[in-house]
Amino acid sequence: MIYTLTLNPSVDYITSLNQFNVGHLNRVEEGTKLPGGKGINVSRLLKRMGVTSVALGYVGGFTGNYIETYLQNEQINTDFVHVNDDTRINVKIKAAEETELNGKGPNITAEEMDLLKRKISALTEEDLLVIAGSIPASLPASTYEEIVKTLGENGTSFVVDAEGELLKKVLPYRPFLIKPNHHELGQLFETEITSAEQAILYGRRLLEMGAQHVIVSMAGDGAIFISENEVYTSNVPKGEVQSSVGAGDSMVAGFLAQYEKTKNIEKAFQYSVASGSATAFSIGLATEEKIQQLLDEVNIRKRNGAN
- Which spans of this chain sit near ligand FBP (rule: CB under 6 A)? 8, 10, 12, 36-38, 41, 90, 102, 133-134, 244-249
Write down the H helix ranges in 74-228.
Answer: 110-121, 143-154, 164-170, 182-188, 196-208
The residue among 8 and 53 lying less far from ligand FBP, judged by its C-beta, is 8
CB of 283 to ligand ADP, least distance (A): 14
Rounded CA gap, 72 and 240, in Å? 31
244 scored as a contact of ligand ADP (CB under 6 A) = yes
Are the CB atoms for 162 and 131 separated by under 8 Å? yes
CB of 170 to ligand ADP, least distance (A): 17
- Residue 102 contact among ligand FBP, ligand ADP, none, beta carbon within 5 to 8 Å by kind: ligand FBP
> Among all residues, whose Cβ is closest to ligand FBP?
36
CA distances from 72 to 33, 66, 250 (A): 16, 10, 20
Please tell me which residue in 12, 85, 161, 249 is annotated as part of the active site.
Answer: 249
Write down the H helix ranges in 79-121.
Answer: 110-121
Q: Which of 17, 89, 219, 295 binds ligand ADP (CB under 6 A)?
A: 219
CB of 245 to ligand FBP, least distance (A): 5
Write down the H helix ranges in 155-246.
Answer: 164-170, 182-188, 196-208
252 scored as a contact of ligand ADP (CB under 6 A) = no
Helices 110-121, 143-154: crossing angle, 10 deg rounding: 30
217 scored as a contact of ligand ADP (CB under 6 A) = yes
- Residue 283 contact among ligand ADP, ligand FBP, none, beta carbon within 5 to 8 Å by kind: none
Which region among 44-52, 121-129, 131-139, 274-282 touches ligand ADP (by CB under 6 A)?
274-282
- By CB under 6 A, the residues from 126 to 185 that bind ligand ADP are 181
In total, the chain counts a number of residues equal to 307
Count Cα neighbours of 72 within 13 Å in the Cβ-side half-sphere: 9
Nearest to 176 by CA among 151, 158, 202, 149: 158
Rounded CA gap, 206 and 177, in Å? 11
Does the active-site annotation cover 249?
yes
Q: What SS3 state is found at 89?
A: strand
Rounded CA gap, 117 and 67, in Å? 21
Positions marked active-site? 249
Q: Residues interacting with ligand ADP, by CB under 6 A?
A: 181, 217-220, 223, 236-237, 239, 241, 244, 247-248, 251, 273, 276-277, 280
